[in-house]
Structure 1
Amino acid sequence: MNLFLEKWAEAANTSLGLFWMAFWAFSLGYLVSSMIQIFVTEEKMQKLMGDQEGKGVLLGTIFGFISSSCSFSALASTKTLFKKGASFISSIAFLLASTNLVIELGIIISIFLGWQFVVGEYVGGIILILVSWLLIRIIKPNSLIKSARKNLPDSEMAMEQMDNSKPDVISSNKSWAKTGRQYGMEWKMVWKDVTVGFTIAGIIAAMVPDSFFQTLFINSGQGKIDYSFLEILQHVVIGPIAAFLTFIGSMGNIPLAALLFGKGVSFAGVMAFIFSDLVVFPVLRINSKYYGWKMAFFILFLLLGALLISSITLHYSFDWLGILPEPKQVTIQDQEFFKLDYTFYLNMGFALVSIVLLWIGYIKWKDLNYMKEMAPKSKSLERILKYMAYTCFLWLAGGMFIKLFLV
């Protein structure tokens, strides 16, 4: 019993410590994302993208890079761009960029996994787009694309219910109120995923033995750095399956990815796990509502094939360049998380920024008419995730009580 209590306390401390490490990065990323979404609208993006394939892919990638990292927001924006005339591949480029090339994701990855994974995320995101483009050119799913456009409803909620007679300018108080509102919406979209993801990471770090990972991922284990091609292939196949089972967004999955790498899973397997936020069931269901089941499954297998190719390409490219990261650079356990260092001051600063933004957006400008379309979520899945998050709060509170007063 005492051993369980010790592990419980360790798991809770690890989960909260991981979030403490990442809070300022989340806040910075969502602040930048919110500002960009207010000052650069989807309508402006679509007009610039046009229907030219090459130009559309390039601009779709750029606009995805500066957009929100939330998968549900990205899915809604992608649908709107596609409906307004953007080509299918440029819409896919936007979707992939908005979930793999965004600023906040890179910051979080740098904290937990190091610079090689940041490079892998951004270079891999570009490879994902190029491979998807190539596969679409080869397969030529023209009939599916036409059917998907017809499947979209003629009328839909406006992307932003606000006065668009004048462009948002950075000196406008109303623009900053919208930014504060959007900042709050960003946190509202991810708090459940982040809570569950970080809690699971702490539990796995404290309670799951290495033998489990060695069974799940062939030839994995602490200190492992050499893998055969078949072993790497198995890792990149299992990575998306693991992501599918967690159904947590990309931001919540990063500490889990760090844990996997620290346990000896290959670089390719971890990258496949990170890239897999668009090949999970909630995304499949949303795409089926937008475009129909045939197109939804086409997108699923398109992205799955692209991420497998991209992950393996990254692994061998990094190996050839001699920059493959080593598992020993990632330490989740046995860290002193809470100390007076740069993380403390950054967290305090961004906590203050968050309070000011939320006050402006939700209190000072409480009558502001601002709304952004989101992809339709499953009520049952959202309910499950919400209660899982509440359970996580109880688990964390209990674990910290044990750590502070009982062990």
Structure 2
Amino acid sequence: MLSTIGDGFRQAFLMAYEVWWALVLGFAISAVVQASVPRARIQASLGGSGAGPIVRATALGAASSSCSYAAIAIARSLFARGASAAAALAFQFASTNLVWELGLVLWILIGWQFALAEYVGGVVLIALMTVLLRLFVSPRLEDVARRHAQAAESGDRHHHGGGRGGAWADVASYFRADWAMLWKEITIGFLLAGFIGLLGNDVFNSLFVSDAPAPLPLLENVLVGPLIAVLSFVCSIGNVPLAAVLWSGGISFAGVIAFIFADLVVLPIVVAYRKYYGWPFTARITALML
């Protein structure tokens, strides 16, 4: 029993060690945005839901960190400073699905087809989310969520001593504030992934139907893939090795892609959305992403 517990903590530590740089980079970018980029500039560049702001947010996300926790922190900063909900979420999707290192790891471990599907699917998801936000998220709800994000940002900065000591002191203050808001969710995510990873490949592979008449296996794989992602998630790129295991164990191509795309609706991140935006907006965007 003690040995199993020790193995779980060891797995969690190793996963954290592999992706710590992405977390640090993401929180650093978020802190710089909050400390140095004027609200007017962000609002002018990313303030609308037209093609221009969405394309710019997508390009910015694709050049950013591949860690989902870091991506949502940066997106919150952009949203609080004037980016539209559509642009902020476009940044999130691009940061977790269109970054070059994720495609490279997919190509190496599973094949170029998965890398291509990741990139094409990421663009499709951004387009769909933009349309769905226009249909199901009212300007009033978006404004309430923005005020919630701004209040959380201001409160955390005040609590951590922001506003004194110059620009770099402000960056450090925002960095500490982002970490203080998310460290519990990040820790829980790593621990869950570490202990669930001990279950072994056979447990995961037994979840997938392979001998039922078509199209039941495909539908079951697409539903179960995201469920496994919810249980085993650390960061976007950290899911790729498990995706390779699932592929070798018999899950369909669509099931693997569904598993990889589920990184922004796992429980620790949904809790982070609630802290950032409040429950009404969180419930709406989570339902749309599902």
User: 1:244 is matched with which residue: 226, 230, 235?
Assistant: 230
Quick check: 1:64–1:95 contact (8 Å CA) kept in 2?
Answer: yes
Alignment partner, residue 115 of structure 2: 118
Alignment partner, residue 50 of structure 1: 46
Alignment partner, residue 125 of structure 2: 128
Write the distance in 2 (CA, Å) between the matches of 1:193 and 1:151: 24
Q: Which amino acid aligns with 2:218?
A: I
TM-score of the aligned structures, taking structure 2 as reference length: 0.72
Write the distance in 2 (CA, Å) between the matches of 1:130 and 1:237: 22
Map 1:322-361; keep pairs closer than 5 Å: none
Alignment partner, residue 253 of structure 2: 267
Aligned length: 260
TM-score of the aligned structures, taking structure 1 as reference length: 0.53
Alignment partner, residue 286 of structure 1: 272
Classify 1:282/1:199 alpha carbon distance in 2 versus 1 (closer, same or farther; 3 Å): closer
Map 1:4-403; keep pairs closer than 5 Å: 37=29, 41=33, 43=37, 46=42, 49-53=45-49, 54-154=51-151, 155-157=154-156, 164=167, 197=193, 204-205=200-201, 208=202, 213-214=205-206, 216-219=207-210, 228-304=214-290
Give CA deviations for 1:244-296 in whole Å, capped at 9, x if unaligned: 12243223221111111111111111111111111111111111112111211
Write the distance in 1 (CA, Å) between the matches of 2:22 and 2:147: 34
Quick check: 2:79–2:88 contact (8 Å CA) kept in 1?
Answer: yes
Alignment gaps of 5+ in structure 2: none
Quick check: 1:148–1:292 contact (8 Å CA) kept in 2?
Answer: yes
Give CA deviations for 1:347-372 in whole Å, capped at 9, x if unaligned: xxxxxxxxxxxxxxxxxxxxxxxxxx
Identity %: 35
Higher mean displacement: 127-136 or 248-257: 248-257
Q: Which amino acid aligns with 1:217?
A: F
Q: Which amino acid aligns with 2:42?
A: Q
Q: Which amino acid aligns with 1:213?
A: N
Q: Which structure dedicates a bigger proportion of its chain to helix? A: 2
Q: Which amino acid aligns with 2:55?
A: L
Quick check: 2:265–2:286 contact (8 Å CA) kept in 1?
Answer: yes
Write the distance in 2 (CA, Å) between the matches of 1:191 and 1:289: 16
Quick check: 1:198–1:256 contact (8 Å CA) kept in 2?
Answer: no
Give CA deviations for 1:147-191 in whole Å, capped at 9, x if unaligned: 212323431556x999659xxxxxxxxxxxx9xx9xxx9xx9989
Write the distance in 1 (CA, Å) between the matches of 2:275 and 2:104: 33
Write the distance in 2 (CA, Å) between the matches of 1:203 and 1:268: 23
Write the distance in 2 (CA, Å) between the matches of 1:81 and 1:93: 11
Write the distance in 2 (CA, Å) between the matches of 1:198 and 1:101: 26
Q: Secondary structure at the match of 2:140?
A: helix
Give CA deviations for 1:39-81 in whole Å, capped at 9, x if unaligned: x857388266232322111111011111112222211111111
Q: Which amino acid aligns with 1:132?
A: M
Q: Which amino acid aligns with 2:289?
A: L
Q: Secondary structure at the match of 1:265?
A: coil
Alignment gaps of 5+ in structure 1: 1-7, 166-177, 221-225, 305-407
Higher relative contact order (CA 8 A, sep 6+): 1
Q: Which amino acid aligns with 1:297?
A: A
Write the distance in 2 (CA, Å) between the matches of 1:202 and 1:246: 11
Write the distance in 2 (CA, Å) between the matches of 1:108 and 1:196: 23
Q: Secondary structure at the match of 2:234?
A: coil
